Chain A
């Protein structure tokens, strides 16, 4: 007993550095952020004024906050459909016997966008969307659909979809890659058995592939949904929340409050809300993930 106790103490000493790091780098900032959200302060002035829950009340009355929430949700939904849904379909096609020998080529092509820096991607898509010289309107004009030609990023109704579309272009290939890896782990015998039983390819996709990669689908969903609520750089580079406030997301709203409007307290409030949203989503995921394991 005494020996195990001692080992326990040694073990504790060994995890202590990691524990300290997590405490100081993860948990302390969360607590400090919460504390800061109760004060009116900015980065260059010394004093802080206590305002209590004022910023929280203001946030829930702020129409921009709801625009941002709506845009983040839109981001999450579209990303789920395109990156997770589309990723699975593309992966399944690439895994098909007929196409498999071209797979390395397509895999590389689809994956390339996700390794390009977001600043480059943003500038490139700004040009692609440009109403005068851009590729999108050029193609529309060339196929005789000039009435569809549009100022994609300049119109407050289409701007958010234009920004979301860029993220899909960039990350669907990444998701495809994850699903490919998962699919390659499925034993071939399942498919052979299904074939002997006369199952069509569609049937074996639904009854073998999907159940077998369930864990990866969950991981993919979590990555995209949480990513959608933390999105910042795509919007910052392409529209910075404009035109007007139509493409504002929680991340850009936080940045604007902190570094343009000198309201660090309000920014901290938004940060706390982002934390609550992503924490809730993670908890839901962890619960779903566990139930998945139990079925196995």
Chain B
């Protein structure tokens, strides 16, 4: 009897144990190769082939390295990155936005300091447009390598502008005049799809930068010292709300998605649309040369520099837990080489941060001009929702819809921002 019980017990135990044991044999067949895990955010069929080709080429040139590539789309990667970084299977190379989004991983010691690698290979370092490396740095050290250099510009429908004899504005007042004319002529002056509120946050990114003194703003955006007491922040929101109150934006901004509005703009339903440089190719495909663009106009009574462009690079960070940092950097060097950057510009029309890669021969004329704007600017105003602490960004993001539907005032919102900034200060050591 006793042996029977024992056998039953052992069988059950065996069942439980086999169920729990983890298989560790997955990498064994490539044991002689170094395996690098590479995570990016472009699974779309129009972009993915570029990465597949680059990875394949790299593997042919480095037969002892194998790259395991994975792609997660834009919205889910914001959550996934945080979870993945806490796990044991951290990718060696990961996509990240620049600014605070990357800096929180730096603070958690999850991102590898890439400064020595950049110092070691001066030619590589100098191949970048300087403004594209800066947003990935923290306390003077580089933690990320940019892949794209993205700026935000107003594109306008030339047909509509010509009809009323309008030109691209230089100042905010000229901009308002144009909006007023278009409104009176019965056109929809500004297209905006704010269902995902980053769309309006991109307006506020530029307005905050232009209204608030640079040093004050950088102090406020730093989670350790953020106060947000400058009156410029309120003024910036008032200006955005004004665009809506005067009816310059299209109807139903909060329930229209950016992509849907883009299609409406392409169909000629609005005069202007605020888009990123990476979308220029789509605009060209739809409007066929019948469009122009301009950066956010300068604001006369703003305290910030008026020669900034809204935008930021995004690219890759290397995990601090990576067992093969040298090989990971080797891959980053490969993907940002002049050759592959030219391919990036040519194949998918993205602006490259590599000096000279985005030129009129390889890129769309307007994309090359956009990159020139960024090169000549004094600096970049990085996306507000990735440049401030996640909790501050969350307050801004959820309130901007209420600002636009008129249910919250700029003063109420800035009060909430100040409160959460204070809370963040007490939590970040």
Chain A residues packing against B (C-beta within 8 Å): 6, 9-10, 13-14, 16-17, 20, 40, 42-46, 129-132, 151-156, 241-245, 256, 259-263
What separation, in Å, do the CA atoms of A151 and B16 have in the docked complex?
A: 54
With a CB–CB cut-off of 8 A, which chain A residues contact B12? 13, 16-17
With a CB–CB cut-off of 8 A, which chain B residues contact A153? 195, 255
Are A262 and B398 in contact, CB atoms less than 8 angstroms apart? no
Q: Top 7 closest A-B pairs, CB basis?
A: A154-B255, A44-B85, A154-B254, A43-B86, A259-B79, A243-B401, A244-B402
Known A10-B5, A20-B16, A244-B401: A259·B251 in contact at CB below 8 Å: no
What separation, in Å, do the CA atoms of A152 and B82 have in the docked complex?
A: 33
B150 within 8 A of A: no
Are B394 and A10 in contact, CB atoms less than 8 angstroms apart? no
Are B407 and A152 in contact, CB atoms less than 8 angstroms apart? no
B369 to chain A minimum Cβ distance, whole angstroms, is: 33
A5 to chain B minimum Cβ distance, whole angstroms, is: 12
What separation, in Å, do the CA atoms of A10 and B391 have in the docked complex?
A: 55
What separation, in Å, do the CA atoms of A20 and B19 have in the docked complex?
A: 13
Are B82 and A130 in contact, CB atoms less than 8 angstroms apart? no
Are B82 and A43 in contact, CB atoms less than 8 angstroms apart? yes
A19 to chain B minimum Cβ distance, whole angstroms, is: 11
Q: Given known contacts A6-B1, A43-B82, A259-B78, what 9 new A-B pairs fall within 8 Å (CB)?
A: A42-B86, A43-B85, A44-B82, A44-B110, A151-B251, A154-B255, A154-B256, A156-B405, A244-B402
With a CB–CB cut-off of 8 A, which chain A residues contact B197? 242
Residue of A nearest to B254 (CB): A154
A237 to chain B minimum Cβ distance, whole angstroms, is: 11
Residue of A nearest to B197 (CB): A242
B156 within 8 A of A: no
5 interchain pairs (CB within 8 A)?
A43-B86, A45-B108, A151-B251, A259-B83, A262-B104
B9 within 8 A of A: yes
Are A244 and B399 in contact, CB atoms less than 8 angstroms apart? yes
Known A17-B15, A44-B108: A154·B252 in contact at CB below 8 Å: yes
B390 within 8 A of A: yes
With a CB–CB cut-off of 8 A, which chain A residues contact B9? 13
Are A44 and B405 in contact, CB atoms less than 8 angstroms apart? no
With a CB–CB cut-off of 8 A, which chain B residues contact A42? 82, 86, 108
With a CB–CB cut-off of 8 A, which chain B residues contact A43? 82-83, 85-86
Are B82 and A259 in contact, CB atoms less than 8 angstroms apart? yes
What separation, in Å, do the CA atoms of A20 and B12 have in the docked complex?
A: 11
With a CB–CB cut-off of 8 A, which chain A residues contact B109? 45-46
What separation, in Å, do the CA atoms of A224 and B90 have in the docked complex?
A: 40
A201 to chain B minimum Cβ distance, whole angstroms, is: 44
With a CB–CB cut-off of 8 A, which chain A residues contact B398? 241-242, 244-245
With a CB–CB cut-off of 8 A, which chain B residues contact A129? 255
Known A132-B252, A242-B401, A244-B402: A260·B83 in contact at CB below 8 Å: no
Residue of A nearest to B9 (CB): A13
Complex partner residue of A10 from B8, B107, B260, B399, CB under 8 angstroms: B8
What separation, in Å, do the CA atoms of A293 and B66 have in the docked complex?
A: 65
Are B82 and A262 in contact, CB atoms less than 8 angstroms apart? yes
B427 within 8 A of A: yes
Known A131-B251, A243-B402: A40·B85 in contact at CB below 8 Å: no
With a CB–CB cut-off of 8 A, which chain B residues contact A259? 78-79, 82-83
With a CB–CB cut-off of 8 A, which chain A residues contact B390? 260-262
Are B427 and A17 in contact, CB atoms less than 8 angstroms apart? no
Kindly supply a per-residue 1/0 record for chain B positions 388-402, scoring 1 wherever the CB is within 8 Å of any chain A CB and 0 otherwise: 001100100011011
Are A13 and B8 in contact, CB atoms less than 8 angstroms apart? yes
Are A152 and B255 in contact, CB atoms less than 8 angstroms apart? yes
A266 to chain B minimum Cβ distance, whole angstroms, is: 10
B408 within 8 A of A: yes
B105 within 8 A of A: yes
Are A44 and B252 in contact, CB atoms less than 8 angstroms apart? no
With a CB–CB cut-off of 8 A, which chain A residues contact B79? 259-260
With a CB–CB cut-off of 8 A, which chain B residues contact A243? 254, 401-402, 405
B323 to chain A minimum Cβ distance, whole angstroms, is: 18
Are B391 and A261 in contact, CB atoms less than 8 angstroms apart? yes
Kindly supply a per-residue 1/0 record for chain B positions 239-266, scoring 1 wherever the CB is within 8 Å of any chain A CB and 0 otherwise: 0000000000001111110001000100
Residue of A nearest to B6 (CB): A13
Known A156-B405, A156-B407, A263-B391: A44·B255 in contact at CB below 8 Å: no
With a CB–CB cut-off of 8 A, which chain A residues contact B252? 131-132, 151, 154
What separation, in Å, do the CA atoms of A242 and B85 have in the docked complex?
A: 28
Residue of A nearest to B264 (CB): A132
Are B394 and A154 in contact, CB atoms less than 8 angstroms apart? no
With a CB–CB cut-off of 8 A, which chain A residues contact B391? 261-263
With a CB–CB cut-off of 8 A, which chain A residues contact B105? 44
Most buried by B among A6, A45, A130: A45
What separation, in Å, do the CA atoms of A46 and B254 have in the docked complex?
A: 38
CB within 8 Å of A: which B184-235 residues: 195, 197
Complex partner residue of A130 from B5, B107, B255, B407, CB under 8 angstroms: B255
With a CB–CB cut-off of 8 A, which chain A residues contact B8? 10, 13-14
